[in-house]
Amino acid sequence: MKPSPFAYAKAKSLDHAIELLSHPEARLLAGGQSLMATLNMRLSAPKLLIDLNGIGGLSGIVVRNRTVEIGAMTRHAEAARSPDIARHAPLIALAMPHIGHAAIRNRGTLGGSIAFADPAAELPACLLALDGEVEIAGQTSKRAVKADDFFKGLFETALGPHDVLTAIRLPAATTQTRVGFAEFARRHGDYAMVGLAAAAKADGQALSDVRLAYFGVGNTPVRAKGAEAALAGGGIDEAVKALASDLDPAADVQATAATKMHLASVLLRRVTQQLMEARP
């Protein structure tokens, strides 16, 4: 299929992009890796596409004040190659190879993935597991929104129609940081049937501040708070039991709800093993 007709504007600056968003039925274009598919399938039919690709200052990775700031237009491939990401945001480095394929990672952006908020995508779950936040520029002001408050529903976020997501901020890893990541997909590079991104603090032989963010099990990335508490108390079997009340996946074209629950418990055991291992 071909998309419905649309006009195209190349934004010259962030302010220009926000100004263009006041046109009715306007939509931002970042890497186009999700948007073009939805246009071609006529799942969406915006009247104006606002291209963010010519705006300087919206991409790049900066580490300062114990925070990793990633510009919204940073490509997946750039983050995957970045020594700063490997060192200071190792969960993102673990997730990257699972996002689509090389061609998609060359164009797709971190901001686009977070803004699109596909419930089976890796990066929204990583942002949630790391207790990160996004920076949003609107018509009158800028604001920061924590990941816990950002994902509202199926493909629905705290972004308003006149907002641009400008950056993602993550706490930089310390020597105590432990991260874990695992997903089950039919083929490598497919969206996950079920996935788990996790972060914790090593506390002697134990873990504290455990955050477990599942993807592919609900309308948004989902924290498994009962399992988090059980893991912090040291019990992997208790954590697996707690998943029964933490998660309520619906069946989809890929798997039944029971299969998803089974996969969720298998992934929890794998990821817990990673969290318990010393960081290299």
Ligand X SMILES: Cc1cc2nc3c(=O)[nH]c(=O)nc-3n(C[C@H](O)[C@H](O)[C@H](O)COP(=O)(O)OP(=O)(O)OC[C@H]3O[C@@H](n4cnc5c(N)ncnc54)[C@H](O)[C@@H]3O)c2cc1C
For 164-176, letters b (16+ CB in 10 Å) and e give bbbbbbbbbbeee
C-alpha 59/C-alpha 192 separation (Å) is 27
Closer residue to ligand X, CB minimum distance, 118 or 240:
118
Q: What is the smallest separation between the CB atom of 246 and ligand X, expressed in angstroms?
A: 22
For residue 68, which amino acid is it? V
Q: What is the smallest separation between the CB atom of 118 and ligand X, expressed in angstroms?
A: 6
Residue nearest to ligand X (CB): 108
Closer residue to ligand X, CB minimum distance, 99 or 207:
99
- Residues of this chain that interact with ligand X (CB under 6 A) are 27-35, 37, 52, 72, 99-100, 104, 108-109, 111-113, 115-116, 118, 121-123, 159, 164-165, 189, 191
The encoded tokens of residue 191 equal 């969206």
Q: What is the smallest separation between the CB atom of 153 and ligand X, expressed in angstroms?
A: 15
Q: Which of 250, 266, 269, 267 is nearest to 258 (CA)?
A: 250
Closer residue to ligand X, CB minimum distance, 112 or 132:
112
Q: How many CA atoms lie within 13 A of 37 on its CB side?
A: 6
Burial class (CB in 10 A: 0-12, 13-18, 19+), 181: buried
Rg of the chain on CA atoms, in Å = 19
Q: What is the smallest separation between the CB atom of 122 and ligand X, expressed in angstroms?
A: 5
Q: What is the smallest separation between the CB atom of 85 and ligand X, expressed in angstroms?
A: 16
